[in-house]
Amino acid sequence: MIKPILKFLPFLIVLALLPLMLPAGRLGAYYLTLLILTASYAVAALGLTVLLGYSGQISLAQAAFFGIGAYTFAILGVHDGVPFWLAAIAAVAVAAVFGLVLGMISLRLASHYLALVTIGFQIITQLVLANWHALTGGPDGISNIPRPSLFGFALQTDEQFYWVSLAVLALAAYVVYRLRNSRLGGALLALREDEIAAAAYGISVFRTKVMAFSIAAALGGLGGVLYASGSLYISPDVFSFYQSVSFFAMVLVGGRESIVGTILGSGLVTFLPEVLRFLQSYTVAVYGLLIVVVVLFLPNGLYGALADGVGFLRSRRTAGAAPAEQLAATIATTAPRPVATSETLLEIKDLTKRFGGVTAVNGLNLTVCKGDVAVLIGPNGSGKTTVLNVLSGIYAANGGGIVFRGGTITNASPNQVHAAGISRTFQNIRLFPELTALENVVVGYFSKGTVGLAGTLLSVPRGYREEREAVAKARETLGALGFSRFDVRAKHLPYGQQRIVEIARAIVAGPTLLLLDEPAAGMNHEETAALSSILYRIHELGLTMLLIEHDMSFVASVATRAYVMDFGQKISEGSVQSVLADPAVIKAYLGDDVEYA
């Protein structure tokens, strides 16, 4: 808890001193109200940082949650005389519940549907606020909204209220910061980057998204409370679709992944009309243009562009110092390789998978014993990758069964397959490109964690312990594979190293069976040789493996048993040497010696 506070302290001090720097008189007072406004907007925008920036979900209803928070607070505080802080907490809770419900009914939808449902919710909310006279006062709104007091000390002036807002903003920022750096934050980012890969490492797509949605709604509601209390008066027109677009703009302009960026973006968007006043009626147009320009040219926002620039300079400076890494050259492979047992680990019986009229896998039978490095080979289009995808729960089988360690896992979800102890890598490497190598591997450890949202936000010690453990485990696993460029983003790693990171991510949680889909594809000789020794090493650690591979010399060097597929069926099995000598296999690879002319 100390580190983030120290990190953001200078920024906070500057913000806290802002009111003292304002000009005197009416202009200063006006600027102060804008600052209060900015703080309330920034809290709501931080909610979008979580939803849009971290989990990658689009919502155009943030102003609705802002409004729900503001109105709940105002109705409780003004009409029912509920004390300030109690009304505020209730307002946040009500907004969160709305967010939870909206999330649950809409998150199964693809993103464009989701966007529309949120717009629908936004429009309905605004209509209700404007027309339910008895509760909301209709278009007249609600006035005389109270300001808080603390320990009997009334905080009534704008200046005092600004500091209250700042404290709330700091709290919101801490919540978002804590979330980002927790196990759940890793899950959110993983979802944004690649849902299929995230699910393959035990992250529940639905639950994680709903969580992001309710956090966003709760922060929207909290911002609404600040807004209502700061303005002392609310009316429905503030909580419009346009305000939702504005929140969007704040997050995008600042940098959708950055807390500081979002706060700066909120300030910028709020103060922009003042700066652009000379443009008069073009102000809003420039606003729209700004969104377009930022999206087109600065995908990470202003703050992101700044950070990228600094990072680029820094990496330029250190690039010369770090020599190109020799992959895994130092891995010792002197220990004897474990011998395959006769104990059945995985049994595939009569597996069939059809896509439309095409039968990709046609009654496949296959047994992998504990301790095997089994390899599935066969010509292009023979159904190997489909087998792996059915095995890991991505596709449902049309027939047959899969038994793993005595339990049936036929058509289990990717989550369940992962929980059973099967982990995998993907043919076209599915790392989370914007996450660092280390973060990628930490996500692989997700299923080992136990601390939920409440524990994370309350900063329970166990959460920190688990996070440290995950990081230590990730470092250890990467280290064991001879990899040390922990803090490089996955998308910046060379191809061969991406493979290593993906393998580390797959084994960090200690699975029983590892599925590898063409691990050597696209690698050069040196990388392939390094990969062989890495697989030796993993084998020594006691993992059973099933891999698909085309590079026969690589196969010959690692596999203990080979299965050959053609046209969705197994045509041969045995040692690598024996299957490669099998006439049926040679025919499958080289083709019939047909006369056609």
Partner 1 sequence: MMSNMLELAAIRSGYGAVVALHEISLEVRQGETVVLLGVNGAGKSTTLKTISGLLHPTRGTITFQGERIDRLAPETIVRRGIAHVPEGRRVFPGLTVRENLLMGTSNRRVTRAETERDIARVLEIFPDLERLYGQMGWSLSGGQQQMLAIGRGLMARPVLLMLDEPSLGLAPVIVKQVFRTIEMINRQGVTVLLVEQNVNLGLKVAHRAYLLENGRIIRAATTDALAADQEFRRSLLGASGHGAD
Partner 2 sequence: MAEIIQLAITGVALGSIYALIAFGFGLIYTSVNVVNFAQGDFAMIGAYFMVSLELGARLPWWLALILAVLLAGACGALFQLLIYQPMRRRPRNFLPVMIATVGASVFIEQIFLVIYGPVPFQLPSIFKAQTIRLGGVSVYPQYLVIIGATAAMMALLRWFIEGTKLGKQLQATAQDADAARLMGIRVARMAALTFAISTALAGLAGLLIAPLYTVTSTMGTSIALKAFAAAIIGGFGSMTGAILGGISIGLIETFGATYISGTYRDAFPFLFLIIFLIIKPVGLFGEKVSQKV
**Per-residue DSSP letter, 54:** I
Residue for token digits 């299957």? 579
**Which of the choices partner 1, partner 2, none does residue 357 contact, using the CB cut-off of 5 to 8 A by kind?**
partner 1
CB nearer to partner 1: give 157 or 553.
Answer: 553
**Which of the choices partner 2, partner 1, none does residue 380 contact, using the CB cut-off of 5 to 8 A by kind?**
partner 1
**Which of the choices partner 1, partner 2, none does residue 356 contact, using the CB cut-off of 5 to 8 A by kind?**
partner 1
CB nearer to partner 2: give 116 or 331.
Answer: 116
CB nearer to partner 1: give 263 or 490.
Answer: 490
CB nearer to partner 2: give 385 or 557.
Answer: 385
Minimum distance from CB of 313 to partner 2 (Å)? 24
**Which of the choices partner 2, partner 1, none does residue 80 contact, using the CB cut-off of 5 to 8 A by kind?**
none
Minimum distance from CB of 51 to partner 2 (Å)? 12
Minimum distance from CB of 573 to partner 2 (Å)? 25
Minimum distance from CB of 192 to partner 2 (Å)? 10
- Return d(Cα 26, Cα 555) in angstroms, integer: 78
**Which of the choices partner 2, partner 1, none does residue 554 contact, using the CB cut-off of 5 to 8 A by kind?**
partner 1
Nearest to 234 by CA among 304, 130, 313: 130
**CA distance readout (Å), 467 to 309, 501, 548:** 29, 19, 33
- Return d(Cα 14, Cα 21) in angstroms, integer: 10
CB nearer to partner 1: give 326 or 524.
Answer: 524
Minimum distance from CB of 568 to partner 2 (Å)? 17
**Which of the choices partner 2, partner 1, none does residue 586 contact, using the CB cut-off of 5 to 8 A by kind?**
partner 1
Nearest to 429 by CA among 373, 476, 474, 496: 496
**CA distance readout (Å), 9 to 20, 37, 422:** 18, 22, 45
Helix ranges (H only) for 181-300 are 183-193, 195-200, 205-231, 241-254, 259-275, 283-297
Minimum distance from CB of 291 to partner 2 (Å)? 3
- Return d(Cα 136, Cα 78) in angstroms, integer: 11
Minimum distance from CB of 292 to partner 1 (Å)? 26
**Per-residue DSSP letter, 435:** S
CB nearer to partner 2: give 7 or 491.
Answer: 491
**Which of the choices partner 1, partner 2, none does residue 167 contact, using the CB cut-off of 5 to 8 A by kind?**
none
Minimum distance from CB of 42 to partner 2 (Å)? 19
- Return d(Cα 506, Cα 504) in angstroms, integer: 5
- Return d(Cα 408, Cα 421) in angstroms, integer: 13
Helix (H, G, I), strand (E, B) or coil at 149: strand
- Return d(Cα 381, Cα 360) in angstroms, integer: 8
- The answer to whether the CB of 98 falls within 8 A of the CB of 270 is no
Element (H, E) at 360: strand 358-369
Contact residues for partner 1 (CB under 8 A)?
356-358, 379-381, 494-495, 498, 518, 521-522, 524-525, 550-554, 556-557, 577, 580, 586, 589-597
**Which of the choices partner 2, partner 1, none does residue 161 contact, using the CB cut-off of 5 to 8 A by kind?**
none
Residues forming beta bridges with residue 436, ordered by sequence position: 489
CB nearer to partner 2: give 65 or 162.
Answer: 65
Q: Any long-range contacts for 148-155 (C-beta under 8 Å, 24+ apart)?
A: 148/84, 148/85, 148/88, 148/229, 149/84
CB nearer to partner 2: give 108 or 337.
Answer: 108
Contact residues for partner 2 (CB under 8 A)?
56, 58, 60, 105-106, 108-113, 115-117, 119-121, 123-124, 127-128, 131, 195-196, 241-242, 245, 248-249, 252, 281-282, 284-285, 287-292, 295-296, 299, 385, 389, 394, 426-427
Helix (H, G, I), strand (E, B) or coil at 484: coil
**Which of the choices partner 2, partner 1, none does residue 305 contact, using the CB cut-off of 5 to 8 A by kind?**
none
- Return d(Cα 317, Cα 176) in angstroms, integer: 32
**Which of the choices partner 1, partner 2, none does residue 336 contact, using the CB cut-off of 5 to 8 A by kind?**
none
Helix (H, G, I), strand (E, B) or coil at 203: coil
Length reported for the chain: 597
CB nearer to partner 1: give 360 or 451.
Answer: 360
CB nearer to partner 1: give 487 or 595.
Answer: 595
CB nearer to partner 1: give 23 or 494.
Answer: 494
Q: What is the CA radius of gyration of the chain?
A: 29
**Which of the choices partner 2, partner 1, none does residue 120 contact, using the CB cut-off of 5 to 8 A by kind?**
partner 2
Minimum distance from CB of 319 to partner 2 (Å)? 25
CB nearer to partner 1: give 243 or 528.
Answer: 528
CB nearer to partner 2: give 111 or 484.
Answer: 111
- Return d(Cα 128, Cα 3) in angstroms, integer: 44
**Which of the choices partner 2, partner 1, none does residue 591 contact, using the CB cut-off of 5 to 8 A by kind?**
partner 1
Minimum distance from CB of 98 to partner 1 (Å)? 41
Minimum distance from CB of 207 to partner 2 (Å)? 17
- The answer to whether the CB of 41 falls within 8 A of the CB of 223 is yes
Minimum distance from CB of 438 to partner 1 (Å)? 19
**Which of the choices partner 2, partner 1, none does residue 123 contact, using the CB cut-off of 5 to 8 A by kind?**
partner 2
Nearest to 71 by CA among 47, 49, 98, 31: 98
Minimum distance from CB of 426 to partner 2 (Å)? 7
- Return d(Cα 92, Cα 72) in angstroms, integer: 9
- Return d(Cα 384, Cα 361) in angstroms, integer: 8
CB nearer to partner 1: give 80 or 593.
Answer: 593
Helix (H, G, I), strand (E, B) or coil at 595: coil
Minimum distance from CB of 233 to partner 1 (Å)? 54
Helix (H, G, I), strand (E, B) or coil at 354: strand
Residue for token digits 């058509």? 411
**Which of the choices partner 2, partner 1, none does residue 289 contact, using the CB cut-off of 5 to 8 A by kind?**
partner 2
- Token pair listed for 323: 């020599």
- Return d(Cα 20, Cα 18) in angstroms, integer: 5
